Chains A and B, each alone.
Chain A
Amino acid sequence: MLSRYGLRCFALGYLSLLLLAPLGMVFWRTFEHGFWPAWDSITTSDARHALYLTLLIAAIVVPANTVYGVLCALAIVRGRFPGKGIVNALVDLPLALSPVVVGLALLLLYGRTGWLGPWLTDHGIQVVFALPSLVLATIFVSLPFVVREVVPVLREIGTEQEQAAATLGASRFQTFRKVTLPAIRWGVAYGVVLTMARALGEFGAVSVVSGHIAGKTETMTQYVQAQYEGFNVAGAYAASVLLAILAVITLLAMTLVRRKEETV
């Protein structure tokens, strides 16, 4: 009994100290002088643009990585092809690699002096210091989440349900849509939440390739940093709170959908 309570206290204490306390602090400092000062500091045109940019990136990255993640997981679990082990290992690379390295790699490839840079510039395509590089960097760092969530679920459900669907006359696509996809939906949903969280919060990789142009290539996380460094601490706190709220909404949305589903 005692050990169970002890364990619970430890888990909660640890969480409070490392997570809740700093987060609470940010909330407190943000609303120290009431709601409106905080509201004003995140409704400046730069702040609004940063929010728009962050949401836009997430809106591109999340669907892209979801589709890729499901296909990649299918290939890893069901596929039989040479180099499968390499694909499986490479998917984890973004988890191991520092985001700054990712950013630098993108610069080397697409930057003005990079391999593809000159060709792209000649064709009027601006990658670095523009939306494309922000999207690429975010896709890269949030690549593994859907794959890693879906792979174990696919392994667990096995192939029998799919074979049953095939003997019942379902085409491959029908089988995928009516049998496989519903069976892995919670893995996908969790992967989407993690991808979303990472896309909203990514700093390092994006920071290298964005160029920090306020109102143009500055995402929410960079906006926070810029405000903090510009001694607009209140603005930085308010923007942080906004990011935190977005994260909480993402988590909450999944919990709600899941609860609704489970009562069926």
Chain B
Amino acid sequence: MAIDVREVSKRFGEFPALENVSVEVPTGSLTALLGPSGSGKSTLLRVIAGLERPDHGRVLLDGDDVTKRPPQKRGVGFVFQHYAAFRHMTVYENVAFGLRVQRRPKGETRTRVAELLELVQLDGLAERYPAQLSGGQRQRMGLARALAVEPTVLLLDEPFGALDARVRKELRVWLRRLHDETHTTTLIVTHDQEEAMDVADQIVLMNHGRVEQVAAPRELYDEPANEFVMSFVGPVNRIGGAFVRPHDVELQLQPSDGCEEAMVERLVHLGFEVRVELVRGNGDQFSVQISRDRALELELDRGQIVYVRPLRERTFVTD
């Protein structure tokens, strides 16, 4: 295990940020720490990096107990949401920083920085200052800077959170490719379930300072451990005590066995899919997702009465 977090707890005053959290990140994997804001995912990342001290528990990196070690001696690369670029240094100097403080030979530093700048596609911008870069470029610089010291693990704290949607998607794909090339164990914090599903081999879903489920993206979606997981990783309807995904509902114009009547309230065109917002007889609202072709075929309209039947539903035992 590259990262092994054992029963870590951390409080900020009265607020329990982490409660007895244990997480294992396999060597060479790309794992996402997913959760809503305030779920403790960033705190956990900072505990792993040594930027926060846990109240209880231990952190092991490559089998070494580093709980009491300062961040300087942990061999982690950290990428910050707001880049944390050294503003008075050029791109080159930023990336070279880690190598320079370790007093590596000049020639080695030069070659390594050049390699990294090429890797993050910033060659040619080496003499620029961070202020002269776009957000996406700054974050790639942040990544190159973190990778320069050859960290055993790479920790990314909402790295694309400050970027606009398009750049975010581009960088996501790019990060995945970079990981496939370098195989550096990577832990990425995100509140965006789509981002987590997109990049990660394994997702650790957190809520209220606890781990809710650890699973591969598909398993997390198909086999959610509880109601929170199910509703966090995708849209969900509650019908009675059961939960059903909008695309797991059959929608017909004629009544049949096990069907329930509902009225079309609104049609939302999402490109390839159409979201049909419905209201049931008892006033409950829910939504169904169907393909565009199916929507055309049914000739749906507002106020129309339709019949719905859940194809796959889940119930959870609540404690």
Residues of A within 8 A of B (CB): 160-161, 163-171, 174, 178-179, 182-183
Contacts and interface: CB of A to CB of B under 8 A. Distances in A.
B82 interface: yes
Interface string B230-253: 000000000000000000000000
Given A160-B80, A167-B146, A168-B98, A179 B49 contact: no
Contact of A168 (B50, B82, B149): B149
A165 B97 contact: yes
Interface residues of B, number: 27
Interface in B70-103: 70-74, 76-78, 80, 82, 84-88, 97-98, 101-102
Nearest to B155: A167
B125 to A, nearest CB: 16
User: Looking at A161, A168, A171, which has the most chain B CB atoms within 10 Å of its CB?
Assistant: A168
A164 B149 contact: no
Given A169-B149, A170-B101, A178-B97, A161 B86 contact: yes
Contacts of A166: 50-51, 70-72
A164 B78 contact: yes
Contacts of B73: 169
Q: 6 nearest interchain CB pairs? A: A168-B98, A160-B84, A167-B78, A164-B84, A170-B101, A182-B88
A163 B145 CA distance: 13
A170 B50 CA distance: 14
A165 B76 CA distance: 12
B195 to A, nearest CB: 21
Contacts of A165: 86, 97, 101
B49 A167 contact: yes
A161 B148 CA distance: 16
A46 to B, nearest CB: 46
Contacts of A161: 84-87
Contacts of B78: 163-164, 167
Interface string B265-277: 0000000000000
Given A160-B80, A164-B80, A174-B101, A169 B72 contact: yes
Contacts of B76: 167
Nearest to B94: A164
Contacts of A182: 88
Contact of B72 (A160, A171, A178): A171
28 contacts: A160-B82, A160-B84, A161-B84, A161-B87, A163-B51, A163-B71, A163-B78, A164-B145, A165-B86, A165-B101, A166-B50, A166-B51, A166-B70, A166-B72, A167-B49, A167-B51, A167-B72, A167-B74, A167-B76, A167-B78, A168-B145, A168-B148, A169-B98, A169-B102, A169-B149, A170-B98, A174-B101, A178-B101
